[in-house]
Structure formats: structure tokens, C-alpha cells
Structure 1
Amino acid sequence: MHILSISGSPSERSRSAWLTQFALTRLEGVASHSNSLSVRELPAAALIAADTQDATIALAVSAVAAADVVVIGTPIYKAAYSGLLKLFLDLLPPDALRGKTVLPLATGGSAAHLLALDYALKPVLSALGARHVLDAVFATDAQLQRHEAGGFVPEADLVARLDRAVAPLAPRRVAEPLASC
């Protein structure tokens, strides 16, 4: 199984980017191959101009095509997923997610942003052909406390929800202790 994670966060130290990478760790041993795509690292001019002929953009689009599972992480701003993620999703062909399993992840300041996954992101994923969308996981800033050594410490409830969401991909997986975060 080839898993691709896509981080739609414009920030370098981002809770949503960290959560996206953490989801990949929960799938270790399941993936035959996994790689990560940070949209913020794509060339801005090509992304804004929707230049699919740009070599880096073309490579990113082909990474989506090659994946069996796509994990998409985004911060929620103003009740919607990030504009950076929108720029990238707009570059994908209409059926780019058909036949793939998709796991949407998001972070936001409060639970008031939770429905942005259902009302903003999932319709776009559907428009891209996604028919097998796993349970979305939303985390508030309070559920991902900054760690002094870098990264974040997830609350146990968040880890449990993430493990339930990925269970269809790794049904026999035994949860690892939080110390491995």
C-alpha cells in the first residue's frame, strides 16, 4: 500500500502538519511505501498560476496519482480549509482521488471549526472522485500541546480517534504508547 500525506499548512511549525505526519506513524507497518508532500514547499508562482507544466508541480500531482491512500491535513481558517491546500487541490485532475482511500485531518483553535471538514473539505474531495473517505479527525489547539523539544503532544482521546479512523487500513494494529510521539 502506497500512502501519501499532503500538508496544506502555510506554517513551518504547524499542528496540522504534525498531525498529518503522526497519522503516518500510526500506519507504520501497513504501508509498503509512504511519502509526504508539503504544499508550502511547492513553487508559489507555479502554484498560484496553476502551472501544471512546472516540474515540481507535475511531480506533486503524479505523487497523488501513484498513491493508494491519501492523508490530507489542513488548518481551519475562517471555517474553511487552508487556501494553500485549495490551490493544490485545484491543480488535480477531476478524478484524481477516485479509487483511493482518503483520510481528512484538520486542526483549529476551537471545536467551532469542526464542521469545516464536512461542509468545506469533503465536498471538494468528493468532486475529485473520492468515494472511500475515512472518518475525519479534527483536533483543537488544546489537544495538541507544544512540546519543549519541538513537535506536539497529543491528548489520549485524539490518538484514540485517529486510531479508530485508520483502523480500516490497519485492523490488527495495536496502539503504541504515547511516549513514542
Structure 2
Amino acid sequence: MRQQLPPLVAPGSSRTAHLVAHLGRQFSANGHEVHHLDVRSLPAEALLSADTKHPEIARAVDLVARSDALIVASPVYKAAYSGVLKTFLDLLPQYGLRGKAVLPLATGGSPAHVLAVDYALRPVLTSLGADVAQGWFVLDRHITVGTDRAVTLAPEAGDALAPVVDRFRAALPAGSRLAAA
């Protein structure tokens, strides 16, 4: 029996976190082992001081290392992905994503930020050795979260995101261990 890792932190209240949880449920339903990693919940002092010996930081880095694939998602702030995500990615070894399929996603309030995936996030993931799938940007207003935490995507967002996710899914071996951060 495969060891189940406890989720580091349940998905938070942000639309980005809910979108990742929504996709994680889809991948779980397809037989993949999914573990959520909310980098916002990692201890700030340990993260900013790059304390990879801190138990929570070590566990997060180990989760990435043991994953076959990752969904890396971030809200876009000032035309770039979040600083906390960059800080976490900086803790990974130089080629810490080598051989891993990675689906980059971004959310934001304006279509003016759509290029943040290709011009900000993708280059960092590539420099870490990731096999980067086509990424996608979703407008915040196209993500609705119900009181039951169910996520509904506006048709224009869902219709555009579905083939991107399908291509990523097709690239994964059956039963992959997937980290969704």
C-alpha cells in the first residue's frame, strides 16, 4: 500500500487555491495521488532565511522531490507571480524539477497580466529543469466558489482551460504522484 502523505495545508480561501484544489480533485478521480502544498502557510522566517532544515520547509521540499509532476499556480501581482512562490522555488536544488511535468497556472483580475505565465513563471520553472506544459491564465471573475467549496468556472475559462489540463494529464504516467502548489 502506498504511503499517503498528509496534506501540508488544506487549500485556502483564495480563488487560486480553490482552482488548484478543483484540478487536484479531477486528477485524484483519474487515479493520481495528489498532495496540496500551500506555500503561503509555510513559516515566513524559515522560508525567507532559506532554512531547509526547518521541518515544514524540509517537508515541502521533500514533497516536491517525491512528486512526478506539479501544478504550480499563483495569483498575479504587479505583472508577476507571487513573491512567496519565488522564495519557495529558490529553495529547490538547481535542477530540482528535472524530469517533472509542470503545469503553470496564474490567476488575476485583468487580462493585462496574461503574459505573466510565459514571461515570469515559465522561465523560472524551466531553469529548474521542469518539463513545462502549456500554462494558462484565468481571470479571477471567472472562478466562482460555492458555500460547499465547489468551484465553477465561467464557460469561457473552463472551455479554454480544459484542453490545457487534458494535454498535461495525457503526459502523466498512470498513478503519478502530483503536488499541487
TM-score after normalising by structure 1: 0.81
CA–CA distance in 1 between the matches of 2:40 and 2:31?
Answer: 24
Higher relative contact order (CA 8 A, sep 6+): 2
* Displacement of 1:159: 2.1
* Moved segments of 4+, more than 4 Å: 148-152
- Name the structure 2 match of 1:109: 109
CA–CA distance in 2 between the matches of 1:106 and 1:99?
Answer: 22
CA–CA distance in 1 between the matches of 2:18 and 2:105?
Answer: 11
Unaligned runs of 5+ in 2: 3-10, 171-181
Cα RMSD (Å) of the superposition? 2.0
- 1:45-101 per-residue CA deviation (whole Å, 9 max, x = no partner) reads 100111111111011101001111100110000000001101100100011111000
Would you say the 8 A contact 2:16–2:106 is kept in 1? yes
Unaligned runs of 5+ in 1: 3-10, 172-181
- 1:96-149 per-residue CA deviation (whole Å, 9 max, x = no partner) reads 11100000111000110000111110010011111x212212111221134355
TM-score after normalising by structure 2: 0.81
Would you say the 8 A contact 1:19–1:105 is kept in 2? no
CA–CA distance in 2 between the matches of 1:141 and 1:42?
Answer: 24
- Name the structure 1 match of 2:28: 28
SS at match of 2:167: coil
Would you say the 8 A contact 2:18–2:149 is kept in 1? no
Say yes or no: does 1:144 pair with 2:143: yes
- Name the structure 2 match of 1:82: 82
